Structure 1
Amino acid sequence: MEEKSTATLARIQQAAMEEFSEKGFLGASLRKIVKQAGVTTGALYGYFSSKEALFASIVEPHAAALMGRFMEAQTSFAELPEEVQPEHMSLESSQYLRWMVDYICDHREPVKLLLCKAEGTSYEHFVHHMVEIEVEYTLRYLEVLGRLGHASPALDQQLCHIIASGMFNGIFEIVVHDMPKAQAVRYVGQLQEFYTAGWLKLVGA
């Protein structure tokens, strides 16, 4: 019985993946999902209370992984002694971005749902939320640089948001365009070099 239930769940989620990928969350039809999965509507509701719950069952593990590793990178950097943070900035960023590229390339379909097909769900602003966190920790780092004696121009929250938004949207182009992994690694590495050089110029570090 357990094996049958697990197999049914897998069929529902695979059918949902295909429907959400084609039409996005808002355009997806539960009726088509149950037909494709070969189950009844009642059977589907035995597993999921709503279309959003079904969508969440596919993307939540990947949202949690991406956000969790992102927060780990931010907090571990912020917890370093202030005097060594400038020399570690590029290293910490490079390690996280390489991990992100690997993860995205290993989980392309559900990550693409999360980033590109989530309008109308609680995941709709996932990237924006990452940007806001990046801005928060960037402003903290700028305060550290000030205490370390680096003379830098005033960078307000809005400008930091614009820069961070451009960076994250650039990184996630590898999802939008289904880039081969080797190309994605190369592009994201070059993008990181570009933004690191720009930040160093702006903050005078």
Structure 2
Amino acid sequence: MEEEKGTQERILEAAREEFLEKGFERASLRRIVKEAGVTTGAFYRYYPTKEALFDALAGPHARAVMGFFDQGLAAIREMPASEQTGAMSRVTGDCIGQILDYVYDHYTECKLLICSAGGTSYEQFIHEMTEKEVEATYRYIEAVESTGHPMPEIDRELCHMISSGLFTGMFEMVAHDMEKEAASRRIRQLREFHTGGWMRIMGVDFDGGEAREAGEDADTQSGGESR
């Protein structure tokens, strides 16, 4: 058992290096097998395909990151409509914080997921997050409207563009190998930019949980005077 575990670990370590350097599509099983010091027959005892090997490395982490995201979406969805606006910033911040911590605790595998997954079932990972965010945005709009606050009509493609910008920007932290502290600061600023834009478009206040007229500046208060 110990010998088999050691063989499998050598295969995974060799695969990490190969996938990181070459990406999934250009990675060579022959090089992985050679670097791991095993025969091709021995390799296939553990992984029937190259994609199965990639899945062993990236799959658990893709599911973990998406799990944090799904939990955040569910937390908002399950709240009463009247409470969703006021909780949005807190829940979003907690969710993104969990994702950031997880990514830096499992950095190599998450970098594989974001930067090396072309040609695998994970290459649309950011797109899948974006689509979930779009659906959640429209559920939120319906919830707010159910409280009697009118919402502007928001084009679905625009919603997709905004959401895609957030998640693509977030995962630049691994695409550019940022230090965690710098990534945390930049993602916080990205969230502020993203949140402020939505507040302006929707006419809501995610910080105070209040509704405003759509299009009113976030820093414009009653009486029409800016602080």
TM-score, shorter chain, exceeding 0.5: yes
- Pairing 1:1-205 to 2, within 5 Å after superposition: 2-205=1-204
Q: Whose helix proportion is higher, 1 or 2?
A: 1
**For the residues of structure 2 that align with 1:149 and 1:168, how far apart are their CA atoms?**
31
Match of 2:211 in 1: none
- Structure with larger Rg: 2
1:59-105 CA-partner distances (Å, limit 9, x unpaired):
01101101111111101110001111110000000001111111111
CA displacement at 1:175 relative to structure 2: 0.8
**For the residues of structure 2 that align with 1:139 and 1:125, how far apart are their CA atoms?**
21
**For the residues of structure 2 that align with 1:119 and 1:102, how far apart are their CA atoms?**
24
**For the residues of structure 1 that align with 2:31 and 2:160, how far apart are their CA atoms?**
40
Q: Work out whether residues 131 and 164 of structure 1, in 8 Å CA contact, stay in contact via their aligned partners in 2.
A: yes
Code of the residue aligned with 2:150 in structure 1: it is: A
**For the residues of structure 2 that align with 1:202 and 1:152, how far apart are their CA atoms?**
9
**For the residues of structure 2 that align with 1:163 and 1:175, how far apart are their CA atoms?**
20
**For the residues of structure 2 that align with 1:85 and 1:126, how far apart are their CA atoms?**
26
The structure showing larger relative contact order (alpha-carbon pairs under 8 Å, at least 6 residues apart) is: 1
- How many residue pairs align between the two structures? 204
Give unmatched runs, 5+ long, in structure 1.
none
Structure 1 residue matching 2:178: 3-state secondary structure: coil
**For the residues of structure 2 that align with 1:149 and 1:179, how far apart are their CA atoms?**
44
CA displacement at 1:150 relative to structure 2: 2.6
**For the residues of structure 1 that align with 2:149 and 2:187, how far apart are their CA atoms?**
28
Give unmatched runs, 5+ long, in structure 2.
205-227
Give the percent of matched residue pairs that are identical in Structure 1 and Structure 2: 49
